[in-house]
Amino acid sequence: MRITRNCRVSGRKIAREIGVNRESVRLIAKNELNLKPYKLQKVHLLTDDIKRVRLQRCRQLKRRAAGQKLERILFTDEKIFTIQQAHNHQNDRSCSAEAQGTSAIIERRQCEQSLMAWGGICATGKTPLVFIDQGVKINQEVNRRDILETVVLPWAHQHFGDTE
């Protein structure tokens, strides 16, 4: 009855409330009630305002594409790459007939080393990759000085020439 009132209540909470072992609650739900746990999925709610804004932006992009200006729009992004093996101790398993010994030990560091890369792409080409030094925070000054003025501006003059 508790589950039919609220299907999102946890087995631990039910066990605590009625004073029963949580494993017993799990077995009753599984074997007697034929219930299975499912992960809830998040759904992005599109309101009328969001739909209207998206439609406006799509129309603007369509107008830009019709005027041949789309070829000179540069899309950029940066990405942090972690230079260390990712390990999830709950999901990463290995099966073996005998004990693995030292090969099963995964080393980790407190401060993971990482590398940030920046790149840009347009309809007619791509910019050179820019590697950001570790510890540098990308703010508007660093973005302008180290990326836009040093890399993008010379690349754009060479790639696009004097076109408007």
Does 115 have pLDDT greater than 60? yes
127 found inside a domain = yes
Asked if residue 156 is part of any domain, the answer here is yes
* Separation between Cα atoms, residue 25 and residue 124, nearest integer Å: 61
Instruction: Yes or no: say if 11 and 21 are a contact pair by the CB < 8 Å rule.
Output: no
pTM greater than 0.85: no
Please check whether residues 80 and 128 belong to one and the same domain: yes
Assess whether 7 and 81 both reside in one domain: no
Q: Give residue 123's domain range.
A: 72-86+112-164
Residue 106 lies in a domain: no
Residue 103 covered by a domain: no
Give yes or no: residues 81 and 147 share one domain.
yes
Q: Tens of pLDDT along 62-95?
A: 887 776 666 778 888 988 887 766 666 666 555 5
Examine residue 97 and state whether it is found in any structural domain, yes or no: no
| Residue 141, SS3 per DSSP | helix
Number of domains comprising the chain: 2
User: Band of the pLDDT at 24, cuts 50, 70, 90?
Assistant: confident
In the chain, DSSP assigns E strands to 75-82, 114-122, 125-126, 130-132
Q: Which residues have a Cβ under 8 Å from the Cβ of 79 and sit 6 or more positions away?
A: 116, 117
